[in-house]
Amino acid sequence: DEAAGMSRAAVRSAFAEGPSRIASLACENDGSSRSVEVMVRVLAAGSCGEDGGGDGELRMVLAGCVRYAYHLSIHRYGSHVLQTALEGSLRVLARQRSDGGAGAARDDAEETEGVPPLGELVALLSSTLREQSSDFGDGAPLGGHLCGSHVLRSLLLVLAGASLRSTAGDRRGRLKDPKKKKKKVKLPPNALARAEDELVAVLRGADRPGAWDGEIAAWTASVLADAEGHGGGRALLADATAMPFLCSFVRTLVLHEQKEASDGAPTGGTGAATPRRYAPIGPADRAVRHLLAWEGNAAAVPAPVSDALYAMCAETLPSHFVETVLR
């Protein structure tokens, strides 16, 4: 395919200038970031195609992003590229697993020497992002950042071997005229309900790299610690940016707990996983209790928590989180 060939050549050229060149292009607002995002999509599609193209160039992109993971995640344009690279990596890994490893690192070019496999790169990027967000985030939770929350949501879903299809279509990476007034995007009343039905298992639990489980556990501890350090989970649930992330966070933990839900879906993203209720005293249950300041493991709802839940149900943003937990 001509487009795939051009994308591979462009990535190799940028990587030859130094891995940081890819990260630099991803943050340009002159159209370069959009070009990089499109190239990553083409590379992922090519690696998943019938010809079983190698994943060398996609590994180059991720390798170029690792050192600058935090900067990219909070950047208006860089965050789009990082999300696309992560989601594309999941699709490529799923294809490789279904083909018994075909298409994995088929290229023997010098540029890819020393570049880790795709699964290891995702884990490396995840751990680097967590460390950098702690070091450079000035104490602000990544899940509460306008751009970072989307990257973290995508990363956790990838680590769980799943993807979330948006009912609003692809709106990422579009350059906007600063002179034009920003239009409000009106979502249909049942948008949340439709999104609940589109959590798709792409990579079965048995096929996921072992390090990914550890990354989910580490991020869970990090997210809950951030919530406790910023007025508690209830304060974040009233935040327009943090609340949608926390909803996705709980749903991801539920899917991760119930591996059979994703294991039963065909590899390649054709089966929709419909997680059942989370297990008592499991990671998702503990996370919800932590966010609601529900101390202990008692089944009965303490009076302070009951009052808080009643108040949350009457508020626009927190009520969505309550609905997610009930679902």
219-245 pLDDT, tens digit per residue, is 999 999 998 887 778 889 999 999 999
pLDDT of res. 201: 79
Q: Where does the pLDDT of residue 97 fall: very low under 50, low under 70, confident under 90, or very high at 90 and above? A: confident
Q: How far apart are CA 50 and CA 279, in angstroms?
A: 40
Model-level pTM?
A: 0.82
pLDDT tens digits, one per residue of 265-306: 444 444 444 445 666 778 898 999 999 888 766 667 788 888
Kindly state the average pLDDT of the residues 33-52. Answer: 76
Place of tokens 């083409």: 42
Kindly state the average pLDDT of the residues 27-39. Answer: 87
pLDDT of res. 220: 96
With a cut of 80, say whether residue 185 has pLDDT above it. no
Q: Where does the pLDDT of residue 150 fall: very low under 50, low under 70, confident under 90, or very high at 90 and above? A: very high
Which letter does DSSP use for residue 203 in this model?
A: S
Q: How many CB atoms sit inside 10 A of residue 286's CB? A: 17
Whole-number percent of the chain with pLDDT over 70: 75
Pairing of strands 271-272, 162-164: unpaired
With a cut of 70, say whether residue 188 has pLDDT above it. no
pLDDT of res. 295: 74
pLDDT of res. 192: 47
Whole-number percent of the chain with pLDDT over 90: 40
pLDDT of res. 109: 58
Q: Where does the pLDDT of residue 1 fall: very low under 50, low under 70, confident under 90, or very high at 90 and above? A: low
Contacts of 176 (CB under 8 A, 6+ apart): none
With a cut of 80, say whether residue 189 has pLDDT above it. no
Please, where are the H alpha helices in 50-117? 56-66, 69-73, 78-98
